[in-house]
Amino acid sequence: MSVKKELPPYICPYKGDLLAGVDEVGRGPLAGDVVAAAVILDPAEPILGLADSKKLSEKKRESLFEEICERALSFSIARATVEEIDQINILQASLLAMRRAVEQLPLQPEFVLVDGNKRPDWSYPCDTVIKGDGRVAAIAAASILAKVTRDREMLELDARYPGYGLAGHKGYPTKAHVQALEELGPSPLHRVSFAPVRKLLEDIA
């Protein structure tokens, strides 16, 4: 049986206080915007319990969301829309959302750490960090803000577009979601460039 190797601790080349972490949520779903957040934490006010948002309970994410908003030096939440995702593809839309989040920070960073291995097109000094949401506190904080924001929005959108089960699967391609798509057809929230939605539209045509 193979043993999953842990990545080593990340050592940031920047040693100042104006360090932003940025992450996005929502690359995989068939519906909804991709949401990004950027956070500059206060080194003098560490927040305990920060971790990859996907590994935290909903209750813990909600609690940390409030704490991050109250105690961070600066934070921003941005997005790329469904229309933008379909126009420029999900990777470019994710990078666009992250760029917007950093550019909208009320307090601009001197260095940015980006989750993953791709960086947005910008002039900020930065570094990419594989699995950064589990290795860098500022990226973890950003992932929590982005996920809680997107999950809350999907709950609200479930009431506007009933029948798809958005409150449960948050737009991800579950069996129930795909079945609902086949029965109801795509809503304005659905990404027509994604294969299951595109195929359904082609079959209808």
pLDDT (tens place) for every residue of the chain, 205 residues total: 455 677 888 999 999 999 999 999 999 999 999 999 999 999 999 999 999 999 999 999 999 999 999 999 999 999 999 999 999 999 999 999 999 999 999 999 999 999 999 999 999 999 999 999 999 999 999 999 999 999 999 999 999 999 999 999 999 999 999 999 999 999 999 999 999 999 888 877 5
Is residue 24 a known part of a binding site?
yes
The pLDDT value given to residue 7? 86
pLDDT of 2 reads 54
Q: What is the pLDDT of residue 8?
A: 87
Look at residue 33 in the predicted model and tell me its pLDDT. 98
Burial bucket for residue 177 (CB in 10 Å: 0-12, 13-18, 19+): buried
User: Residue 107: which region, alpha, beta or left (left: phi > 0; alpha: psi -120 to 50)?
Assistant: beta
User: Cβ-count burial of 14 within 10 angstroms (0-12 exposed, 13-18 middle, 19+ buried)?
Assistant: middle
Residue 192 has which token pair?
A: 């027509």
Question: CB 2: neighbour CB atoms within 10 A?
Answer: 4
Contact 94, 3 (CB under 8 A): no
How many alpha carbons fall within 13 Å on the CB side of residue 90?
18
Beta strands in the chain (DSSP E): 19-25, 34-40, 74-80, 111-115, 126-129
Q: What is the pLDDT of residue 203?
A: 75
Q: Domain 19-158: give its CATH code.
A: 3.30.420.10
**What backbone torsions phi and psi does residue 131 show, to the nearest 5 degrees?**
55, 40
Going from N- to C-terminal start, the domains of the chain cover 19-158, 162-204
Dihedral sign (CA 128, 134, 136, 141): positive
pLDDT at 12: 95
* Those residues with Cβ within 8 angstroms of residue 74's Cβ, 6 or more apart along the chain or in another chain: 20, 39, 40, 105, 106, 107, 109
23 assigned binding-site residue: yes
